[in-house]
């Protein structure tokens, strides 16, 4: 490990990761281009997103070469956000239900991707 002179790695690894990020971005764009819908769409979007994020953090930001004390200090706290995510989802479901009940909109149809003028 070349820590005394900072992070020094061969240029090839950056170029390879750059190429991989291009491939993954193209793949996630194609998910939209070919109109994948439903769970397949969400699954693919999340997989490509996590792969890209992982590559950027691990190689471009040199996380795989850092000491574990720093890695844990930075990567563990964001896991708390899962709690906020859960609270947000619960709250949103309740608000959606209440709006449906009080404003009379059809509460059983989330109606995504339907242009407004066709309703």
Partner 1 sequence: MTQPVSMSSAETLPLPEGLQGVVADWSSDQRAFKDVPWGKAMMWIFLLSDTFIFSCFLISYMTVRMSTTEPWPNPSEVFALTLWGKNIPLILIAIMTFVLISSSGTMAMAVKFGYEKNRKMTFVLLLITAALGATFVGMQAFEWTKLIEEGVRPWGNPMGAAQFGASFFMITGFHGTHVSIGVIFLIIVAIKVLRGDLDHERPGFLTGRKGNYEIVETMGLYWHFVDLVWVFIFAFFYLW
Residues that bind partner 1 (CB under 8 A): 3-9, 11, 14-15, 17-18, 21-22, 25, 28-29, 31-33, 41-42, 45-46, 48-49, 52-53, 56-57, 59-62, 66-70, 72-74, 77-78, 81, 84-85, 88-89, 91-93, 95-96, 99-100, 103, 105-107, 111-116, 119
> Least distance to partner 1 from the beta carbon of 73, Å?
8
* SS3 readout for the chain: CCCCCCCCCCHHHHHHHHHHHHHHHHHHHHHHHCCCCHHHHHHHHHHHHHHHHHHHHHHHCCHHHCCHHHHHHHHCHHHHHHHHHHHHHHHHHHHHHHHHHHHCCCCCCCCCCCCHHHC
> Least distance to partner 1 from the beta carbon of 92, Å?
4
> 78 with 72: CB under 8 angstroms?
no
Q: Which is nearer to partner 1, 64 or 72 (CB)?
A: 72
Q: Which is nearer to partner 1, 64 or 96 (CB)?
A: 96
> Least distance to partner 1 from the beta carbon of 64, Å?
13
Token representation of residue 89: 């989802």
Q: Which is nearer to partner 1, 64 or 74 (CB)?
A: 74
> Least distance to partner 1 from the beta carbon of 91, Å?
6
Radius of gyration, alpha carbons of the chain = 21
């Amino acid at each position: 490990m070349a820590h005394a002179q900072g992070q020094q790695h061969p240029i090839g690894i950056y170029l390879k990761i750059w190429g991989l990020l291009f491939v993954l971005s193209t793949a996630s764009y194609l998910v939209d281009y070919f109109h994948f819908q439903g769970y397949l769409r969400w699954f693919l979007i999340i997989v490509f997103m996590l792969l890209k994020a992982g590559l950027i953090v691990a190689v471009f930001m040199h996380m795989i070469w850092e000491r574990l004390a720093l890695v844990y200090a930075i990567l563990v706290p964001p896991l708390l956000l899962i709690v906020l995510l859960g609270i947000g989802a619960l709250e949103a479901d309740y608000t959606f239900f209440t709006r449906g009940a009080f404003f009379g909109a059809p509460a059983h149809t989330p109606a995504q991707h339907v242009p407004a003028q066709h309703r």
